Amino acid sequence: MIFVAAGTQDGRELAGYLLKMGYEVVASVVSAYGESLLKQYQGIKINCEPLDVAGFVEYFKKHHIEAFVDASHPYAVNASQNAMDACHKAGIPYIRFERPETPLKYDKAHYVDSYEAAAKKAAELGDSIFLTTGSRNLGVFAKAEALAGKRVICRILPEPGVVEQAISLGFTPASIVAMQGPFSLEMNKAFFQQCNTQVVVTKNSGHTGGADTKFAAAMELGLELVIIDRPKIEYDAEADCNEGVLLLLKKQGI
């Protein structure tokens, strides 16, 4: 059986692909919504229980897992490191599915290596800032001294807990856009224009994460872009497409 960390759209599609290729697959997700999306794949097994390194090792042994395919979000570095550590302890192959980055050439693109640095750079570049970095690190921006007095809009998932979190951090209803992406070029432009945006803060999450249309919208409007670089991690084995993952499994004799 193959364990797939499938909390992303491409992770779910990869799990479905491996099922079609004849593998038994258990897919791991972190939300009820993610679980509902996986149920379209007939025969897939689903794990919703959060697992640490020890939990992974125990799960691998109990369910006879032959390989771990990590299709978690490109910025979920801690989850990837825990999974890789667990594979080393359990003696099973670890394969990383890494979606390609979106190429960008833009003289108003500013690259930083942390959310804290993104908040500081955004404050230097303008007074109206649009966050497209998700909800997990909203607190960094809410507490950033550099952003005091700035207008900061956050675009987050329309889940009650996520919206409540944003409000608890001080974001008002007027500064919250609760919609699920990815968004088209025209939709992004409309958001940025409606909010009188000067600076867009984002991540290079690739085409699946909507980075291409965010970049294009900012460029067409001449906005400043603050891009948080992907975290650097040395993976055991890596592929950027479903066929590449299959090839790596075959090389392992699986």
Q: What single DSSP character describes residue 209? A: T
Alpha-carbon distances, residue 138 vs 88, 103, 162, 177, 197 (angstroms): 33, 26, 10, 13, 18
Q: Which residues contact 78 (CB under 8 A, 6 or more apart)?
A: none
* E strand or H helix that includes residue 189: helix 185-194
- Take residue 83 and report the two structure tokens written for it: 């999974």
Tell me the pTM: 0.84
Q: How many CA atoms lie within 13 A of 83 on its CB side?
A: 28
Q: Which residue has the tokens 């097994």?
A: 45
Q: Label residue 160 by pLDDT band (50, 70, 90).
A: very high
pLDDT tens-digit profile of 200-252?
999 998 887 889 999 999 999 999 999 999 888 889 999 999 999 999 999 99
User: Average pLDDT in the 91-106 region?
Assistant: 93
* Domains, the chain, with CATH or none: 2-99+232-251 (3.40.50.720), 109-228 (3.40.50.20)
Assess whether pLDDT exceeds 80 at residue 131. Answer: yes
